[in-house]
Structure 1
């Protein structure tokens, strides 16, 4: 395995309900622009990548000279997945194993790329990929919204974690929840596309009277907030601006 993720990130992923059926929803890849020298690059001999099997894999693949991205179609059954191609976390793609997903992943031409698929040991998967001269370009509006969503989710998850550890009082918990509510409420005026469609559910969920200290760390049935969190997480991941949930308590 190329690298490990933070345990807190795993907890956060579970709280966002990534195993819901709603993860079958897919989003269009961000805009891809051809490189200036695309017309001079010979692509006829570029290899097509094809993998299928069960459980996680790591493969080293030579990136052809002139390639700027890898266009991937991926599907899996059972659990959640993370698809990685480099040490940069913004290039990871992750979600629930349902539906067929299409990604345009940035690569460095002439390099040796490590392609890793992280998923349960009994999960079936299939992947095809073609190198391209198209350049991956994140949508700046989505990037900005994802930064605000990261702050929003970090606040309410940290409020609960701090309260559970005895480091945050009920009063301070409320201050942090109110701050998180303000952030996501303001996002209603600026978010676009698929994220904008989910913001009302996030606002309603964080404002619900059932949200009390410790609520987000409880074992409970998935809610509309969880479903909306799953969808925006997928959108941010597909844009190369995945949610970054930071932990303020407990390391």
Structure 2
């Protein structure tokens, strides 16, 4: 089965109408359908970022390298306002249907398909750049989680050589999580490991979940006070359907405020 070429898929994703044969092919060919879906997502993301405001202008050498990579004249790179250090990114449809590169006797005009495809590449590249700028700024402005407490987890006699750590953090939304790491021999084939919080006098215990592998992060329920549930315990549990603690602790340690 022949596939739709990359240029047609990109142009359809950008909004051009598919002819009946192309539509039928996209219904039958999973490979082309997957590629079309990915391109459509890229276009959707790109268009959603066109209203976020001015983007920081990269150095001219960046556009020169992009142009060299796709075999396009450097003069065709997006316009850069050097005074305000921003990029003027036009809507994708305008980029596709914009004027062709100027003709000259010395440089033959590239074929229409090639010219349009390189413009599509620039449109998608600009969209991706906008997304990266937004994500980067959001990551910088969002406060980092606050570390509340930590514990060193020591081995029980039945598991010599085991060790672990636990760290409790609170994110800006007030949600608390505990990340545990365990260094111990692998659990038996008929057993699994579970993470618990226990009060200092062992009068109450809360299961946080099953630990798969050597590290895991678990949400701490809102009604659990870590000033009371100060012991972090990792146990080995048999596959017997009993939700209570087996009594076979691998490591345990006490949380201390940071």
State the TM bucket, normalised to the shorter chain.
under 0.3
TM-score in terms of structure 1 length: 0.22
More helix by share: 1
- From the CA coordinates, give the structure whose radius of gyration is larger: 2
Q: Which of 1 and 2 has higher RCO (CA within 8 Å, sep 6+)?
A: 1
TM-score in terms of structure 2 length: 0.22
